Amino acid sequence: MSPYDYYNDEMLLPLIAEGDESAFTVLYHRYCEKIYSFLHRMTKIPEIAEELTSDIFTGLWTGRELLVEVRNVKAFLSKVAYNKAMDFFRLTAHRQQLQAVVAAQMAAGTVADADFKLLESETKRILQEAINSLSPQRKRIFIMHREQGMTHEQIAQALQLSPETVKTTMSMALKSLRAFLSQHGLKSIAIIYYIDYWK
């Protein structure tokens, strides 16, 4: 237990702004599950909620110097989480619009079916490369959770790890996938959302 556990949010923020990782860890554990639950209710997709939650706290740490201006952490994080969810909905809506355009072009003969399948095949290849680029532990947990449908608790029991370790590892795996896919010009949220489609 950290001595910071007894600090309220207002006491933690100046410490985090100065780069105190222990203070940030306390704030993270204080709000992580709440933010994840909110995003899960909004998106209905556990992996998306995990990735968005990770994005929020990564951004919080990156811009920690500005935290001294925050007056209500709970309200601030709720607003950030809501905006993240809205960004996700806009992204998926945009992808659906693109799919509709491609379908219309294919129907009109503008895009050959073979070309579309080639593009899909290339996307699948890059996605598999991204998964293979993960460390053995992250790859194993990602596959157990995403492809085998196991919960964090089930994975923890199978691998003799704590559920928190499994959740953290899954979050880091998603972060690594996002970075890899971004380097290849792919939007990670949409890719991870449609993993089942590409399997």
- Domains located in the chain, CATH noted: 1-111 (1.10.1740.10), 112-199 (1.10.10.10)
What letter does residue 145 receive in the DSSP assignment?
I
pLDDT band at 102 (very low <50, low <70, confident <90, very high): very low
As a whole-number percent, the residues of the chain with pLDDT over 90 amount to: 23
Given a contact cutoff of 8 angstroms between Cβ atoms, the answer to whether 198 and 127 are in contact is yes
Given a contact cutoff of 8 angstroms between Cβ atoms, the answer to whether 28 and 171 are in contact is no
* 25-29, 81-85, 165-169: range with highest mean pLDDT: 25-29
Given a contact cutoff of 8 angstroms between Cβ atoms, the answer to whether 8 and 50 are in contact is no
* Residue 117 or residue 171, greater confidence: 171
Burial class (CB in 10 A: 0-12, 13-18, 19+), 72: exposed
Could you give the CA distance from residue 90 to residue 155 in angstroms, rounded to a whole number?
32
The pLDDT of residue 18: 93
Query: Distance from first CA to last CA of the chain, Å, rounded?
Result: 42
Q: How many CB atoms lie within 10 A of CB 155?
A: 22
- Check pLDDT > 50 for residue 53: yes
- Check pLDDT > 80 for residue 161: yes
The CA distances from residue 166 to 34, 137, 194, in Å, are 18, 10, 22
Calculate mean pLDDT across residues 6-24. 92
